Amino acid sequence: MLGLLPSDIDDSFEVWPDNWTAFLVMDSMGTQWRTGACGATGLDYGVLPNVMKLVGIPAKDRPGVFQDIRVMESEAIAVMAEARDNSP
């Protein structure tokens, strides 16, 4: 159903089973960042419903996955900002 398996991903980090579905969506959204003069500002939510469909997320699970994506997005923005602020 969801294409990738945990064994298909580099094991340099762990994805808990409860987060696997949201991880697949977030990974698929990798080219969908909105950017400004200071870097990434957030994901393009306009494409998110189609990405969820393509990844195979059942409609009943999409609201929860969306909330998980927002948490990951927020942390990713913080990590990118820290990297930007600490670059030479």
Cα 1 to Cα 26, 43, 51, 63, 65: the distances in Å are 17, 24, 14, 19, 16
* Secondary structure letter of residue 86 according to DSSP: T
61/20 Cα distance (integer angstroms)? 13
User: Which residue, chain included where needed, has tokens 């094991």?
Assistant: 11
Distance CA 83, CA 51 (A): 27
pLDDT of residue 87: 76
Confidence of residue 2 (pLDDT cuts 50, 70, 90): very low
Strands (E), the chain: 33-36, 39-43
Structure confidence by residue, pLDDT tens digits, 13-72: 788 889 899 999 999 999 999 999 888 999 999 999 999 999 999 999 999 999 999 999
